[in-house]
Amino acid sequence: MDAQGNLTAVELFAGAGGLLLGTSLAGFRHLAAAEWEHNCCNTLRLNQDKGYPLIDNDMRVIEGDVREVDWSFLSEDIDLLAGGPPCQPFSLGGLARAETDKRDMFPAYTAVLAELRPRAFICENVKGLTRESFHQYYEYILLRLQHPSLAKREDETWEQHAVRLSRVHTSADHEGLRYEVVPTVVDAADFGVPQHRHRVIIVGFRSDVEASWAFPQRTHGQGLSDWITLGEAVDNLPSLNNEMHEGKARAYPGHTGSVFDKPSKAIKAGVHGVPGGENMIRFDDDSLRYMTVREAARIQTFPDGYEFSGAWSEGMRQIGNAVPVELARVVASSVACALREDTARKQMNAYLSLRLKGVVANEAAFV
């Protein structure tokens, strides 16, 4: 928390900025965002210039490998580390190689977590991470997030590292950096996003933070407000006459398009099948067309003025990889509340301690 009482944050694997924008809307002031892909960095800079509450005016969009970033430029403590490590190692649409996939960035995430020691973190990934075939590695990831300073040794396998982490985790006298971690599988449609998008969100609080936190209750679905449909999301967008979006979309088993009277199917990044049937709208007469970038952005709850650098395919890739802005805002808002409550509690305890010692002369200073 800075001198003005603002919660501070750093974003890793920022992509097009879905999680970044959502946490900003929740009240976090971002000091830095790291992203290696050039077009995504252009998108972040483009929208920063347009005034979206992504980052400080002087904040750095760091273009490059997060493993090579020198974080010494940060001059203040961090309240939140947020990011979604690349999900291809665990995606149903990928090769599902998990720890053998060089795109597994969980080790990089935990390394930054250990260095910056934020009061809390938010980590998002695909639901595939929780598949039975990944169970042991998923438990290993959770242990790494709980004890990020206990890094894997060069001569260790991940299984050996997991055993060492488990021993420390169950040790009563361990006093190193530790996070209390809560993983939750969610459907974005349950939180006001017009899309069925199942993800795992892992939230952690540093052990010295007194956070009575639980994952936010869903607001939509059975017994609550109706899910927001695709039709409601794109209702007032202009009709299309662009050839690129007409006549070329086709269905295949499992990819038959999204209908207007239900939440959209999950928007995909486009690297494994958009030409074969994903990210499509199916009309009442069973005709199909691809979504526009603006439609996909609406479904991911980006504001209409938010722009994406690059052509249609590049825009769809960025949107498909993003965290829905509204889901990010809901989760980050609950984390912000817990952190502010912890700060208020500690300030009150400090005041009471000083008062008992008879050294409080000006009570107004603590109000």
Token readout for 358 is 């008879």
State the pLDDT confidence band at 363, using cuts at 50, 70 and 90. Answer: low
Question: What is the pLDDT at residue 34?
Answer: 95
Question: What is the pLDDT at residue 134?
Answer: 84
**Alpha-carbon gap, residue 100 to 107, rounded angstroms:** 12
Question: DSSP class of residue 159?
Answer: H
Question: What is the pLDDT at residue 244?
Answer: 47
Question: What is the pLDDT at residue 98?
Answer: 45
Is 100's pLDDT higher than 60? Answer: no
**Alpha-carbon gap, residue 320 to 177, rounded angstroms:** 34
pTM: predicted TM-score of the whole model, two decimal places: 0.89
Give SS3 for 232: helix
Mean pLDDT over 40-47 rounds to: 93
pLDDT (tens digit per residue) in 274-319: 444 578 999 999 888 889 999 999 999 999 999 999 988 899 999 9
Mean pLDDT over 174-191 rounds to: 93
- Which residues are within 8 A (CB) of 323 and not within 5 positions of it... i.e. 6 or more apart? 18, 19, 22, 84, 124, 199
**Alpha-carbon gap, residue 110 to 143, rounded angstroms:** 10
Q: Which of 107-111, 126-130, 139-143, 204-208 has the lowest mean pLDDT?
A: 126-130
Mean pLDDT over 99-127 rounds to: 87
| C-alpha of 264 from chain center | 20
Q: Is the model more confident about 55 or about 178? A: 178
- Residues 69, 35, 302: CA angle, nearest 5 degrees: 145
Is 33's pLDDT higher than 70? Answer: yes
Give SS3 for 297: helix
State the pLDDT confidence band at 52, using cuts at 50, 70 and 90. Answer: confident
Question: What is the pLDDT at residue 362?
Answer: 58
- Which residues are within 8 A (CB) of 292 and not within 5 positions of it... i.e. 6 or more apart? 237, 240, 242, 245, 312
Token readout for 313 is 């395919």
Question: What is the pLDDT at residue 56?
Answer: 59
**Alpha-carbon gap, residue 173 to 161, rounded angstroms:** 19
Question: What is the pLDDT at residue 162?
Answer: 94
Is 4's pLDDT higher than 80? Answer: no
pLDDT (tens digit per residue) in 220-237: 999 999 999 999 999 988
Question: What is the pLDDT at residue 200?
Answer: 96
At the top level of CATH, the class of 7-221+322-352 is: alpha beta
**Alpha-carbon gap, residue 248 to 141, rounded angstroms:** 41
Total Cβ atoms within 10 A of residue 268:
20
Type of residue numbered 344: A
Q: Which residue ranges make up each domain of the chain?
A: 7-221+322-352, 230-310
Is 61's pLDDT higher than 70? Answer: yes
pLDDT (tens digit per residue) in 165-176: 999 998 877 778
The answer to whether 300 and 199 are in contact (CB under 8 A) is no
Averaged confidence pLDDT in the chain: 86
Question: What is the pLDDT at residue 96?
Answer: 42
pLDDT (tens digit per residue) in 329-361: 999 999 999 999 999 888 888 878 787 777 655
Q: Sign of torsion, CA 15 18 23 27?
A: positive
What pairs with residue 10 in β-bridges?
32, 81
Question: What is the pLDDT at residue 17?
Answer: 95
